Amino acid sequence: HNRLILPNYLRGCIKPELGSPKWDSKLQYLLSCAGFVVGLGNVWRFPYLCQTYGGGVFLIPYLIAFVLGAIPVFFLELAIGQCLKKGCIRLWWHISPYLGGLGYTSLILSFLVILYYNMLLSLVLWYLINSFRNPLPWSSCPTDTKLIEECHKSTPTNYFWYRYTLNISTDIGNSGPLQWWLVLCLAACWLLVFICTVRGIESTGKAIYFTATFPYLILTLFLIYGLTLPGAVHGLLYFMTPNLRKLNNPRAWLDAATQIFSSLSLGFGGHIAYASYNPSRNDCEMDAVMIAAINSLTSLFASIPIFSILGFKATVAYEECLERNVKYITKAFRNESITVDSSAFWLSYLNGTDINKLASLKLANCDRQKFLDQSVSGTGLAFILFTEIVLKMPGSNTWAILFFLMLFSLGISSMFGFVQSILTPLTESRIVSRYIRKEAVCGLICLTAFLLGLVFTLRSGNYWLEMFDAFAATMPLLIIAFFEVIGVVYIYGMKRFSADVEEMTGRPLKCYWKATWQFFSPGIMFLIFVFYVLLEPPASYNTWNPNYVNFPAKESKKYPPWAVVISEMLENVPCLMIPFGAIYQLWRIVLKKKLFQFLEAVLPPSMEGEQ
């Protein structure tokens, strides 16, 4: 009679229910998590940040954010998901009803991300299909006289991307019609995602064996080939040579922290969902360290072939620049003995003998470092820079097919995790599970996302895609991760959680984890949030306008007021679910208390006792 009976939310880890889904093997779980975290950003975002912020010196803020911020939050998500065996909505409600809105924030954020992430896969699919054409369609300008001027003012690769693929408008407000080829690619991608996720982990677990491992095979091939390209060593030296002055730029620290947090897919609820299908006795600490290490090592591994190819591109551009200069000098001075190799000598000689005539030629300043400094990320790296480089590589069709097939495999395995982040909490809902089959829920998710994603297939669709990428999945992730740590450490309880982790792993929790969860991780995330607010650039975007005076340079425009409102909604509305959930729970308690007071005042004592 003196034993304290604890409510459910104060007990330890929950045992899996009989008949609940589970992973076929530990390898399947690890590959699914690795496929979720290793995505497009590892290939086209991380190398760009290294190139922008001083090469290898960027790893200093990256590793600090990784050790003190990202990996502790990652371990926390795996551990709490494995312990409580619930999706993100029921899990946070279980810990505290006042945290119920946190799960809805993760769900909304995951849905916003799948809208534009699958559009990126559609663009990759479009380029993959066109890679089978010989010659490659971005190798030369079209013969249509009405459009050839735009192509010659820029480049064939720019023209193929902006005009042939996107048929882009000059403004976000000029939407235009749907582009049918992009609609078909988007439909094909969503059909593939539906087929692979229709039965949850039971279906994604089978596909992940290919989608999570195939990219590493292609990356290895690119690594071997990239190292043999002329100029590859210049690219690698550029990557490995640190520029310590870049550490004075606070933006470098902010981008390093946001890169590792978004790269590990923290805050989406996918890791919580994946871990909930694990047995209670599983070493989630080792899983967290292993998967986080795979993610960061993949970024470094991908950077080697990327910078090798960038070095090759810079060398080709440098040599072409020298050849143009030699051509002009040879023509002006009528000296056929001048070559690229002897151009430095002749320039020095002519500077001393005929400097005025030489200056009138207006020769280009050929600097290999300048070409290496030309950084580009995201779609620009994949669809413009690489397509331009691949034209200069022997067997260009083969390398283009392999590259876009690799990007598609990386992206589709991440999509599995995003969809599972939504599917798991929805199918746990009593109403949904009672009346709707899991297959129908998955179908509704994919169909709704496809219909809403049609906005990205408009002529202004790329501007919308860039807006979603910039505002939907940056600050909200930090806020979710911050409240996750606060919820587990200070509401669920550090002692209880330590005991749960010890029960799951079979060994006491290390002081490192306790210190980071209690102090360092929340502190770093708070600092990131402050710097993000202070350093956030004004709401503007770059447009492709053939009538722009400085074309092919992009024309910078400010977002119109209605677009600013939408961008603010993308960034803030998901986060509002956290306070709304707490207010709703408080309102329920107050309402219930008032109801009891009303019943006590109205009902007679006898009936009150029966109640």
Binding-site residues? 35, 38, 42, 263, 295, 410, 414
Which helix or strand (DSSP H or E) is residue 220 part of? helix 214-227
Q: Is 83 left (phi over 0), alpha (psi -120 to 50) or beta?
A: alpha
Binding residues for Na(+), as ranges, are: 35, 38, 42, 263, 295, 410, 414
Query: How crowded is residue 383: how many other Cβ atoms within 10 Å of its Cβ?
Result: 25
Q: Which residue has the tokens 């060593």?
A: 233
Cβ 74 vs Cβ 266: under 8 Å: yes
d(CA 135, CA 399): 13
Beta strands in 544-592, from DSSP E residues, in sequence order: 555-558
Per DSSP bridges, beta strands 555-558 and 540-543 are: antiparallel
d(CA 580, CA 573): 11
What phi and psi values does residue 145 have, to the nearest 5 degrees?
Answer: -65, -25
Q: Which residue has the tokens 């599972």?
A: 420
Q: Which residue has the tokens 């003012």?
A: 153
Give start and end residues of each alpha helix (H) in 487-558: 494-505, 511-515, 521-535
Bridge partners, residue 556, by sequence: 542
Query: How crowded is residue 44: how many other Cβ atoms within 10 Å of its Cβ?
Result: 24
**Which one-letter amino acid corresponds to residue 410?**
L
- In degrees, to the nearest 5, what angle opens at C-alpha 485 toward C-alphas 481 and 488? 135
Cβ 71 vs Cβ 488: under 8 Å: no
Q: Is 167 left (phi over 0), alpha (psi -120 to 50) or beta?
A: left
